[in-house]
Amino acid sequence: MNSHRILDHPVLGKLTIEKEIPFTFDGKKYTGYEGDTIASALLAQGIRTLRVHEESGSPRGIYCNIGHCFECRVTVDGTPGIRACLTELNPDMIIESGKQQFSPFKSTENQDDLPRTYAEFEKQLKGEKEDEPDV
Amino acid sequence: MTNKNHAEVAIIGGGIVGCAIAYYVAKAGIDCMLIEKGDLASGTSSRCDGNITIVDKDPGFDSLMSLASQELTAELEKDLYLPFEYRTQGSILVCDNDAEMEVANEWVNIQNQAGLKFKLLDHSDIRQESPYFADDIPGGLECETDSLINPYLFCYSLIDRAKEYGLKLHTRAEVKQVSKKEEFLIETTNGSFTAKKVVNAAGVWAPFIGKMLDIEIPIKPRKGHIMVGGRQKPIIMRNVMEFGYLMNKFQRERIADPETLKHGVALVLEPTESQNFLIGSSRQFVGFDARVDFNVVQTMARRALRFFPKLDDFNIIRTYTGFRPWTEDHLPIISAVEEVPGFYIAAGHEGDGISLATITGKLIEEMISGKETTISIEPLRYDRFKRKVVHM
Amino acid sequence: MYDVLIIGAGPAGLSAAIAAREWNLNVLVIDEFLKPGGRLLGQLHQEPDGKWWNGIEESKILLEKAKELNTDIRCGISAHTIEKTDHGFSVYTNEGILEAENLLIATGAAESPAPIPGWTLPGVMSIGAAQVMTNVHRVRVGKKGIVVGVNVLSVAIAREMQLAGIDLECMALPAINSATESHGSPKKVMKALLRIAHLAPSTAIRFGSRFMKGDGTKALAVKFFPKSGVKMWGMPIHLRKAVTRINGTNQVESVTICDITADGEIIPGSERNIEVDFVCIAGGLYPLAELAAVIGCPFQYIEELGGHVPVHNEQMETPLEGLFVAGNITGIESAKVARAQGTLAGLSIAKRKGQNLAKLENQIQQAKMNVRTIRENATIQFHPGIEKGRSRMEEAYYDIVHG
Ligand SMILES: Cc1cc2nc3c(=O)[nH]c(=O)nc-3n(C[C@H](O)[C@H](O)[C@H](O)COP(=O)(O)OP(=O)(O)OC[C@H]3O[C@@H](n4cnc5c(N)ncnc54)[C@H](O)[C@@H]3O)c2cc1C
Ligand SMILES: Cc1cc2nc3c(=O)[nH]c(=O)nc-3n(C[C@H](O)[C@H](O)[C@H](O)COP(=O)(O)OP(=O)(O)OC[C@H]3O[C@@H](n4cnc5c(N)ncnc54)[C@H](O)[C@@H]3O)c2cc1C
Ligand code: FES
């Protein structure tokens, strides 16, 4: 689709496309252009949300676009924490957005409820799921 | 009547120890002030882990002191308004090899005999602790009463409450000169103050304050590194250290690779409330050189991977260093100083300042008020070092 | 072991590499971005004589020159930390450890964040992010947006977005909070804005500059600043309006804007929402100097240079033997100055290798003069009193090395 490209520019001239690059993001197929970063290829498709905040789940996209803020972290071919704004798009990259993570220590109101071991944490997790079958 | 620049008691140093003292002294209704050269918790207390542990203390006086501190911290959770990420989940030690496992077994027996809640963990218990542990870890041990805090928040929380009890706070005031006539005169970069009594809680910088009154304080900086691992999936629920940590701490012989031994590296992994991971740590005498030493960091990372091999794709977001205020016998100095009546020292907690802050605060308040102390203060006396010199 | 490793392939790093290669040094340039050029790549301004300063073209010229000299330039490599060794430096990167006898840090500048509530929503970005998307990647950052923060850089980039056909509602200030302080004060912003009046064919701004003779009259300029803003290239710039909030659920949907007094205080009841789908925040630039800090290079805080700057002399040497700095890491200035500084640094490094000293010394003197001339004639100035800042740095260097 790439509908957000600036094809014509009064000073910089016409956009020359050397090569198309296929990739997937969260399981869907897209194409970008040679010279794209992951962030630019996604934005060209209108995709702005690259991850959600690990705790709150609120959406995040690029901020600085030059590698300083680490807001654009995605998982590329299984490696997490990759900055989308610095990383060159390569053919057939499998890109996953950053997901919400568990916060097992947030309920400090009752100390006894805190899981002590990972096994306890998993048990609590299962318990929650049984409580709310629709999630 | 309250004079901003005068107090009955002046506390120098706004680290965790100074803040705890300020809290207990103010709470006792004594007119007091805290003088700090930077912001609160700008020294070692913001460059450390947050463990309040017994698991690593020698049975006897050391563990007794920690237990008293743990109980006080639990009380504080009720009296302080600002939360400080307090978690009582216990903590564990893991062993690298069977030899360590044997010593660990003895350790648990000794601690149990002392009435402390210790338990030996076998291989399958370790799997329950975390699925990320290496398969060849033979076991470890647990101390049930250990807890965790965020030391930085704790300092602010203590002072917030202490101010309500009447504490006067002077930050960005570096003490340059202390002298004594009828009362103490404390000159700082942000005004001069007077006080009847002075508590030196300047941590690793306490010797400099001592010198201003011609008092020699045998505390040396023992540097430690910490890496902060970025948030990812949960790995483990509570603080874990390796048993080798104890060997280092008490300078006993330990089997590990040369780099690990050279930099005094032992695994400490603390999952914080925000799900970052503090990975430590090292122990080195290199003066006040605060630079991050990459060799040390690499050695620490290797050590972490020994126990958590699946952490190899973790993001390290930052590395920092701190100076533990070390004393020769690994106990702090919590004491009056005979040579200068009215002058107290509360410093030298080395790697236990977080664990021992509350009891230290309480003891100093009791000494100032002339009360009977919660625990014996004999082993903590300032003149113990001098006595030793005489005997040699 | 390289004679010199250069971190950063911006105008400073590239021109340093060229100078060092001309003296036959063994050079490696690394950069974490996927193409060389640094922040120069995104630049596109019209000079007062009407010619375009086209960063992509300017980068190409540097790059071609470097290639003619067989310069080794590697992209996609981030330097994480540096260590001083007995023979020079070890630079730790995502691609392993690199060793060099001399090191030039030319990492440029970064943007200060100016947080306003809602700024984490997708569709909110720094003004520099929009520049790179628009001019380097040729991707539109949105349909209609607003620029929050009025300074040299944001005015220039707003113009660039307009050229690319992106619709901007207006430019306005961020509401004052502890983090946005100086960017939220109309008086301070006005002062800064007047320094770029020559770039803006705007009568209102020239009107303002008449008031700028004395300090007391600056307040007047703000007072008389038209309520409807002034227009530059048809786009309103507001100094008496501030954005208090960015709204939206999954991405930017609107901003809340209000009227402010000349001191930046919100006039109650003036809030209203404007629909936009992107927001660019401009918080100003500061030197990106962490790498110099980790090896223990001394620093000096100099406001005119943009903040904490590694101490260095006019030849771009730091007090640490073999460590050089050039470009925006030494203070925020235009790309032309960075380029000239790079040449000078490259020559200084060659001098340390001790070749043909008389000829080299002559070139160094010329390069120094060149930096000064370019600085004096700069059309874009980020901070006032840059010369004053530079001489304070000379003093700081002298104090550390000789004092
Ligand atoms: C890597 C590392 C990990 C650690 N982990 C743990 C742990 O898990 N559990 C534990 O119990 N302990 C731990 N510790 C130890 C603990 O951090 C210290 O013992 C404790 O922080 C010491 O506190 P303090 O208040 O004595 O010193 P500080 O926090 O250093 O406070 C002293 C204060 O005095 C101020 N000061 C100095 N000079 C002056 C002056 N002239 N005028 C005014 N103010 C002055 C300083 O600015 C400073 O704020 C760790 C330490 C390190 C380095
Ligand atoms: C967002 C932004 C927009 C700007 N826009 C303009 C403008 O429109 N007009 C103008 O005159 N000036 C602009 N500037 C100022 C700009 O800094 C200078 O014009 C000039 O580009 C500085 O050149 P430099 O070589 O010092 O640094 P840069 O051009 O910034 O180059 C530094 C290079 O170092 C690389 N780098 C940084 N850290 C590392 C690391 N750890 N490892 C590896 N590589 C690293 C970066 O990827 C970058 O390519 C802008 C600056 C910024 C930050
Ligand atoms: S957007 Fe800031 S690091 Fe990528």
In tens, the pLDDT along C98-149 reads: 999 999 999 999 999 888 999 999 999 999 999 999 999 999 999 999 999 9
- Running DSSP on this structure, what letter comes out for residue C133? I
Do the chains contact at C32 and A67, CB–CB below 8 Å?
A: yes
Q: Averaged over A105-119, what is the pLDDT?
A: 81
Q: Averaged over A98-112, what is the pLDDT?
A: 78
- Beta carbons of B7 and B142 less than 8 angstroms apart: no
Instruction: Report angle CA B317, B323, B328 to the nearest 5 degrees.
Output: 145
What is the pLDDT, as a whole number, of residue C383? Answer: 81
Beta strands in B114-166 (DSSP E): 118-122, 139-143, 147-148
Residues 6+ apart with CB under 8 A from A18: A33, A34, A35
Nearest to A25 by CA among A88, A82, A80, A92: A92
What is the pLDDT, as a whole number, of residue B1? Answer: 47
Residue C201, pLDDT > 60, answer no
Q: Which of C104, C325, C328, C339 to mutate to test the pocket of ligand 2 (most atoms within 8 A of CB)?
A: C328
Q: Averaged over C182-187, what is the pLDDT?
A: 76
For residues C233 and B9, the model is more confident at: B9
Q: Averaged over C60-77, what is the pLDDT?
A: 98
What is the pLDDT, as a whole number, of residue B292? Answer: 87
Residue range B143-172, pLDDT digits in tens: 999 999 999 999 999 999 999 999 999 999
Residue C92 contacts B where some CB pair is shorter than 8 Å: yes
B179: exposed, middle or buried (C-beta count within 10 Å: 0-12, 13-18, 19+)? Answer: exposed
Nearest beta carbon to residue A59 from set C44, C137, C250: C250
Inter-axis angle of helices B16-27 and B353-369, to 10 degrees? 30
Residue B108: band (very low, low, confident or very high) from pLDDT cuts 50, 70, 90: very high
Q: Ligand 1, closest atom to CA B38?
A: 47
A5-9, B371-375, C26-30, C353-357: segment of lowest average pLDDT? C353-357
Residues in chain C: 403
- Beta carbons of B22 and B364 less than 8 angstroms apart: no
Nearest to B12 by CA among B39, B43, B33, B41: B33
Residue B99, pLDDT > 90, answer no
| Ligand at shortest distance from the CA of C80 | 2
C66-70, C232-236, C250-254, C325-329: segment of lowest average pLDDT? C232-236
Residue B274: band (very low, low, confident or very high) from pLDDT cuts 50, 70, 90: confident
Q: Averaged over C348-365, what is the pLDDT?
A: 91
Residue range C387-399, pLDDT digits in tens: 999 999 999 999 9
Residue C212, pLDDT > 60, answer no
d(CA A62, CA A73) in angstroms, rounded, equals 9
Residue B271 contacts A where some CB pair is shorter than 8 Å: yes
Q: Topology of C2-110+285-402 in CATH?
A: FAD/NAD(P)-binding domain (3.50.50)
Residues in chain B: 392
Which tokens go with C209? Answer: 């500059």
Residue C167, pLDDT > 60, answer yes
B390: exposed, middle or buried (C-beta count within 10 Å: 0-12, 13-18, 19+)? Answer: exposed
Q: Ligand 2, closest atom to CA C109?
A: 53
The answer to whether the C2-110+285-402 and C113-281 domains have the same CATH topology is: yes
Residues 6+ apart with CB under 8 A from C384: C191, C192, C195, C304
Over chain A, what is the mean pLDDT?
A: 89
What is the pLDDT, as a whole number, of residue C206? Answer: 42
pTM for the model = 0.80
Fill in the amino acid letter for C248.
G
- Runs of H (alpha helix) within A1-135: 38-44, 118-131
What is the pLDDT, as a whole number, of residue C357? Answer: 86
What is the pLDDT, as a whole number, of residue B288? Answer: 95
What is the pLDDT, as a whole number, of residue C356? Answer: 79
| Residue C146, strand partner residues | C279
d(CA B30, CA C283) in angstroms, rounded, equals 47
What is the pLDDT, as a whole number, of residue B311? Answer: 87
d(CA A76, CA A86) in angstroms, rounded, equals 12
Q: Which domains does chain B have, with CATH numbers?
A: 6-47+151-219+329-384 (3.50.50.60), 91-144+220-326 (3.30.9.10)
Does domain A8-96 bear CATH number 3.10.20.440?
Answer: yes
C35, C131, C139, C286: which to substitute to probe chain A, counting the most A Cβ within 10 Å?
A: C139
> Phi/psi of residue A119, each to 5°?
-60, -40
What is the pLDDT, as a whole number, of residue B390? Answer: 43
ipTM over 0.85: yes
Residue B24, pLDDT > 50, answer yes
Residue A135, pLDDT > 70, answer no
Sign of CA dihedral C396, C89, C343, A35: negative
Q: Averaged over C23-35, what is the pLDDT?
A: 97
Q: Which chains lie within 8 Å of chain B at 3 or more CB pairs, if any? A: A, C
Query: In this prediction, what percent of chain B has a pLDDT beyond 90?
Result: 80
Type and span of the H or E element at B329: none
Residue C220 contacts A where some CB pair is shorter than 8 Å: no
DSSP for C223-285, please give it: HTS-TT-EEETTEEEEEEEEEEEEE-SSS--EEEEEEB-TTS-B-TT--EEEE-SEEEE---E
Do the chains contact at A104 and B230, CB–CB below 8 Å?
A: no
**For chain C, domain boundaries:** 2-110+285-402, 113-281
- Beta carbons of B126 and B140 less than 8 angstroms apart: yes
For residues A40 and B273, the model is more confident at: A40
For C197, what's the count of Cα atoms within 13 Å in the CB-facing half-sphere? 16
What is the pLDDT, as a whole number, of residue B367? Answer: 98
d(CA C134, CA C139) in angstroms, rounded, equals 5
Residue B232 contacts A where some CB pair is shorter than 8 Å: yes
What is the pLDDT, as a whole number, of residue C270? Answer: 95
What is the pLDDT, as a whole number, of residue A28? Answer: 97
C335 lines ligand 2 (CB under 6 A): yes
Which chain A residues touch B234 with a CB distance below 8 Å?
Answer: 101-102, 104, 118, 121
Do the chains contact at B128 and A119, CB–CB below 8 Å?
A: yes
For residues A48 and B234, the model is more confident at: A48
Q: Averaged over B216-227, what is the pLDDT?
A: 97
B121: exposed, middle or buried (C-beta count within 10 Å: 0-12, 13-18, 19+)? Answer: buried
Residue C294 contacts B where some CB pair is shorter than 8 Å: yes
Q: Which of the four CATH numbers 3.10.129.10, 1.20.120.1200, 1.10.287.1120, 3.50.50.60 does domain C113-281 have?
A: 3.50.50.60
Nearest to C157 by CA among C137, C179, C133, C139: C133
Over chain B, what is the mean pLDDT?
A: 93
Give the binding-site residues of ligand 3, using a 6 Å CB cut-off.
A 62-65, 67-72, 83, 85
What is the pLDDT, as a whole number, of residue C187? Answer: 76
C378: exposed, middle or buried (C-beta count within 10 Å: 0-12, 13-18, 19+)? Answer: middle
Residue C78 contacts B where some CB pair is shorter than 8 Å: no
Q: Averaged over C18-46, what is the pLDDT?
A: 96
Query: In this prediction, what percent of chain B has a pLDDT beyond 70?
Result: 96
Q: Which of C29, C107, C371 to mutate to test the pocket of ligand 2 (most atoms within 8 A of CB)?
A: C107
What is the pLDDT, as a whole number, of residue B2? Answer: 60
In the block, tokens 């050590």 appear at B303
What is the pLDDT, as a whole number, of residue A106? Answer: 74
Beta strands in A26-100 (DSSP E): 28-33, 51-52, 59-60, 73-76, 79-83, 93-97
Residue B252: band (very low, low, confident or very high) from pLDDT cuts 50, 70, 90: low
Query: In this prediction, what percent of chain C has a pLDDT beyond 70?
Result: 90
Fill in the amino acid letter for C96.
G
